[in-house]
Structure 1
Amino acid sequence: MTKPIVIISGSPNATSRLNGMIDYVRHELENRGYPTKTITVVTLPADDLIQARFGSPAIVDANRLVDEASAVIIASPVYKASFTGVLKTYLDLLPQKGMENKLVLPLFIGGTLAHLLSIEYALKPVLASMGARHFIRGVYATDNQINRIQESSNETKFELNDEVTERLQASVQELIDELQLRSAAP
């Protein structure tokens, strides 16, 4: 059985355009036979996150998903030139080597291209300190590249422009190629 790919969403906003990127990647992976699991950090108990309750059942369950994953997708909006504090709070609760031997695909969205390097300078050093060594080419998008489309009732859909779609497809393919190489290795 294929190990799942875990998506960690660090967005505090349930209708964030980041969800358009996450939904696209999840759909692409699952259509190609790669199961996904999602940790939406904002839905974890706030007291457990803030008080660093490593033994909390919700934190233990989330950490188990990461531990069992073949790859981890880290998704976050960019605030103040970095990923969200919500995401950092959860990353602090992962084991010190919690990203060791994981393929990592970053997905970031920001209001401007000015924070394009936030993946390189904010996220990667934190994950490297946790053992991450193999990063898939990340995708940084700006808000104007993803349109929020209101649909029936409470469901929100997103429309990604062609450039973002092409970059996400390339990153998903790179992730799949690396997973296949790893599964073929003796």
Structure 2
Amino acid sequence: MATVLSVSGSPSATSRTARLLRRLDARLTAQGHDVIPLDVRTVPAAALLGADVEHPAIVEVGELFARAEGVVVGTPVYKAAYSGLLKSLLDLLPQYALAGKTVLPLATGGTTAHVLAIDYALRPVLTSMGAAHVVQGWFTLDKDITVGEDGALTVALHAAEALEQVVDRFSATLDRTALLAAAG
């Protein structure tokens, strides 16, 4: 099975986006994939904002991207675009950091008016970074994601089912890619 890097571009420590990604990580792990979670907010701000590509944390993140066969990129949508935190990280990676990789873009936001942020803001960047295949992404409304006082995540049934289908298609694409690589 594939190694998957699961990247949360949310700057919030209590992020619904990050919690949702960790839930999807569990599904991918159950399907046999090795999932590595990465919360970009844990990367030193000085390295990100100072564009310090030689900082050990940035080098380590670059190595995580290089090691992965698949990448899940999750972000909250702010002002019709993916987060600035995610943009800061993507800008520091090598131009073709996603070369040969299968990528699943996911976004969360407060209104369906932001659904196009995946296809018009995030997808072009992922493609320009050499992604071999950017699978159909998914946008989940904030109102469909709730976090209880105990920290438990609840996703509205219709949203949970849609996310599971998207993740399953991503997983199947990773499996097919691995089979083709083994045969070729």
Bin the TM-score by the shorter chain: over 0.9
Q: TM-score, normalised by structure 2?
A: 0.94
The code of the aligned residue for 2:108 comes to I
The code of the aligned residue for 2:176 comes to L
Residue identity (%): 37
User: For structure 2, which runs of at least 5 residues remain unmatched after alignment?
Assistant: none
SS of the residue aligned with 1:179? helix
Q: 1:44 to 1:11 in 2, by over 3 A?
A: same
SS of the residue aligned with 2:5? strand
Q: Does 1:144 align with 2:143?
A: yes
Matches of 2:55 and 2:152, distance apart in 1? 33
Aligned to 2:36: 37
Aligned to 1:160: 155
SS of the residue aligned with 2:53? coil
SS of the residue aligned with 1:182? helix
Q: Does 1:131 align with 2:126?
A: no
2:7/2:73 contact within 8 Å kept: yes
SS of the residue aligned with 1:26? helix
1:20/1:160 contact within 8 Å kept: no
What whole-Å deviation, never above 9, does each CA across 1:135-185 have from its counterpart, x for those lacking one?
Answer: 12211011110111121xxxx221001111111111111112111111211
Would you tell me which structure has more helix in proportion to its own residues?
2
Q: Does 1:24 align with 2:19?
A: no
Number of residues of Structure 1 aligned to a counterpart in Structure 2: 181
The code of the aligned residue for 2:35 comes to T
Matches of 1:180 and 1:71, distance apart in 2? 10
What whole-Å deviation, never above 9, does each CA across 1:100-157 have from its counterpart, x for those lacking one?
Answer: 1111101100010011100000001111111124112211011110111121xxxx22
The code of the aligned residue for 2:179 comes to A
Q: TM-score, normalised by structure 1?
A: 0.93
SS of the residue aligned with 1:86? helix
Matches of 1:21 and 1:109, distance apart in 2? 9
Q: Does 1:169 align with 2:164?
A: yes
Offset of residue 19 of structure 1:
2.5
Aligned to 1:84: 83
Match 2:175 to one of 166, 172, 180: 180
User: For structure 1, which runs of at least 5 residues remain unmatched after alignment?
Assistant: none
Give the root-mean-square deviation of aligned CA atoms. 1.1
The code of the aligned residue for 1:84 comes to S
